[in-house]
């Protein structure tokens, strides 16, 4: 199946639930295992939250989410017109540093990297951001 | 995901009085601050020892980690607690003596371990074990 599932939604934290359901329903239609669905939901949640909070700075805007299966991989594109921001440039957190010495936050990109096989960033032709998440080896339930 | 997170607070008595926050549902960017605020208020009211019972947490994003980290910082902010933590760090142990967790489901626990939080927070399999650890 090469169907592409798309959702364009207003960048607002109150819409995270709708995005969560969109990912869940799409992944279920593609026959993905429950554990993979959870990881995909988490990665998309992190990506979208970054766009809303850091990209659009909670001022609204649109996010386009596109999900498709490409052979044994799930490919997710997230596109927005917020300020240019490359999350892949964020260095990994210092996980062995005591919690009293670590700055709070900054784990979103780390969780994306932990749950996805690839996290890629590009600037779109219109000057917006495109984040691509790829999960390989997706199995059927 | 619904936007629903429920927190029920109870008290247990181990070697010290322990407050337990039983958290149920999803912890995400839309509601993590509620948990953080509730714990903060309890700390400001004198709470010293806390168990976060996460057995019924079904989803946790990095926002949930942010709440855990902020709770940790809040609970070790005053001079007496901070000195206690400084002593703790002197090679004898790295887990907080005042903040413990009852393990969430494995898929949620993975988020906590991915952040390395399990090195600094004891994660117990049962509430009984967590109470007994104080």
Q: For the segment A75-99, what is each residue's pLDDT rounded down to a tens digit?
A: 999 999 999 989 999 888 888 787 8
Query: What is the tens place of the pLDDT at every residue in B58-78?
Result: 999 999 999 999 999 898 877
Q: Are A11 and A82 in contact (CB under 8 A)?
A: yes
B5-132 maps to which CATH number?
A: 3.30.750.24
What whole-number distance in Å separates Cα of residue A133 and Cα of residue B65? 22
Q: Is the dihedral of CA A99, A100, A105, A110 positive or negative?
A: negative
Nearest to A109 by CA among A37, A69, A54, A56: A54
What whole-number distance in Å separates Cα of residue B48 and Cα of residue B131? 14
- Which of B3, B30, B69 comes nearest A104 by C-beta? B69
- pTM across the whole model: 0.90
Our CA angle for B105, B110, B115, nearest 5°, is: 135
Q: What is the pLDDT of residue A133?
A: 98
Q: Are B13 and B2 in contact (CB under 8 A)?
A: no
Q: What is the pLDDT of residue B83?
A: 63
| Alpha-carbon torsion angle B124, B125, B127, B128, nearest 10 | -90
Q: How many CB atoms lie within 10 A of CB B25?
A: 17
Q: What residue spans define the domains of chain A?
A: 4-136
What whole-number distance in Å separates Cα of residue B62 and Cα of residue A50? 11
Q: What is the pLDDT of residue A122?
A: 97
User: How far B106 CA sits from the closest chain A CA (Å)?
Assistant: 10
Q: What is the pLDDT of residue A60?
A: 87
Across the interface, whether the CB atoms of A107 and B115 are under 8 A apart is answered yes
Beta-sheet strand order (sheet of A62-70): A4-10, A62-70, A73-80, A129-136, A118-123
pLDDT band at B100 (very low <50, low <70, confident <90, very high): very high
Q: Any alpha helices (H) in A2-135, and if so which ranges?
A: 16-29, 34-50, 108-115
- Which of B2, B65, B73 comes nearest A107 by C-beta? B65
pLDDT band at B27 (very low <50, low <70, confident <90, very high): very high
B32: contact with A, CB 8 A cutoff: no
User: How far B84 CA sits from the closest chain A CA (Å)?
Assistant: 12
Q: What is the pLDDT of residue A20?
A: 93
Q: What is the pLDDT of residue A49?
A: 95
Terminal CA-CA length for chain A:
15
Q: What is the pLDDT of residue B2?
A: 57
Q: Any alpha helices (H) in chain B, and if so which ranges?
A: 32-44, 62-75, 79-89, 106-114, 127-132
Structure tokens at B24: 């149920």
- Which of A21, A53, A100 comes nearest B85 by C-beta? A100
Structure tokens at A126: 């219109």
Task: Point out the residues of chain A with pLDDT beneath 50.
Answer: 141
**CATH fold label, A4-136:** Heat Shock Protein 90 (3.30.565)
B72: contact with A, CB 8 A cutoff: yes
Model ipTM over 0.85? yes
B9 conformational bin, left if phi > 0, alpha if psi -120 to 50, beta if neither: beta
User: How far A2 CA sits from the closest chain B CA (Å)?
Assistant: 27
Residue at token pair 């990095």: B62
Across the interface, whether the CB atoms of B73 and A93 are under 8 A apart is answered no
Across the interface, whether the CB atoms of B62 and A102 are under 8 A apart is answered no
Task: For an interface test with B, give the residue of A33, A107, A111, A116 to mutate (most B CBs within 10 A).
Answer: A107
- Which of A16, A41, A98 comes nearest B29 by C-beta? A16
């Amino acid at each position: 199946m090469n169907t592409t599932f798309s959702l364009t939604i207003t960048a607002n934290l109150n819409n995270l639930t709708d995005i969560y359901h969109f990912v869940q329903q799409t992944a279920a239609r593609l026959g993905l295992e429950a554990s993979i669905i959870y990881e995909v939901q988490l990665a998309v949640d992190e990506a979208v939250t970054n766009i809303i909070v850091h990209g659009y700075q909670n001022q609204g805007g649109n996010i386009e989410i596109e999900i498709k299966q490409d052979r044994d991989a799930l490919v997710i594109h997230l596109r927005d017109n917020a300020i240019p921001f490359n999350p892949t440039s964020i260095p990994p957190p210092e996980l062995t540093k005591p919690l009293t010495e670590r700055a709070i936050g900054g784990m979103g990109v780390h969780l994306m990297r932990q749950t996805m096989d690839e996290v890629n960033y590009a600037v779109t032709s219109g000057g917006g951001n495109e984040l691509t998440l790829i999960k390989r080896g997706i199995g059927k339930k | 995901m619904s936007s629903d997170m429920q927190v029920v607070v109870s008290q247990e008595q181990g070697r010290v009085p322990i407050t337990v926050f039983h958290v149920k549902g999803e912890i995400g960017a839309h509601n993590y601050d509620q948990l953080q605020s509730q714990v903060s208020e309890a700390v400001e009211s004198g709470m010293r020892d806390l168990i976060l019972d996460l057995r019924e947490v079904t989803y946790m994003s990095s926002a949930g980690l942010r709440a855990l980290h902020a709770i940790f910082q809040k609970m070790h902010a005053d001079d007496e607690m901070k000195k206690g933590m400084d002593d703790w760090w002197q090679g004898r142990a790295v887990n907080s003596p005042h903040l413990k967790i009852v393990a969430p489901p494995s898929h949620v626990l993975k988020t906590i371990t991915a952040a390395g939080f399990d090195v600094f927070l004891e994660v117990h399999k049962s509430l009984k074990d967590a109470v007994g650890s104080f």
